[in-house]
Structure 1
Amino acid sequence: MSKIILKGFIVVSDEDLQAVEGELPTHTKLTLDEEGCLTFKVTKSDSNPNRFDVYEEFVDRDAFNKHQNRVKSSHWGDVTINVERHYEIIE
């Protein structure tokens, strides 16, 4: 089994920015607590307040899929429903 890396960024509308920023610490903690999560970083851009750079590593595809499924049914999934996602997944 090979490690899965997701990297890229999200763009958050002004209307959703406060909710996303407010939920990010909880989302980060829950993700880092997931079995199989090696690294999880979401960093606000210095040059664009609506852009967040994302970098994730999971031990394998199964751990990554479990994370994706959890996120879809989480509060983070609700507050980020409208964000633009620009990701690359590397296996």
Structure 2
Amino acid sequence: MVERADPARAYRLLMERPKLKGHFNARAETGVPMAKITRGIARRQDHDSSCDVRSLSHVLIKYGDWAEGPALDQQMGSAKLRQMTGWEPQYTSFRNAQF
């Protein structure tokens, strides 16, 4: 998760360095589960954060194979982007972001 202007700065920095090749991730912090982020945002917005959790098999039956992607347990970091371009996110923690 990054503040909405952060990817734009990352793209600009990459475009200014056309010799850089490969895949780059723009991420403010690594290792924070999405559930923790959404609960924190919901609390700040005075939302009860209640939701229905569906099993993967239910979601696959309803939406098809593409729905498996969001269920993957993946962690990406932005160390490569930071080291090669000097990019830094505006907010380094979702707890400090403005909503």
- Relative to the length of structure 1, the TM-score reads 0.31
More strand by share: 1
Max radius of gyration: which structure? 2
What TM-score results when the alignment is normalised by the length of structure 2? Answer: 0.29
Task: Indicate the structure with greater helix content.
Answer: 2
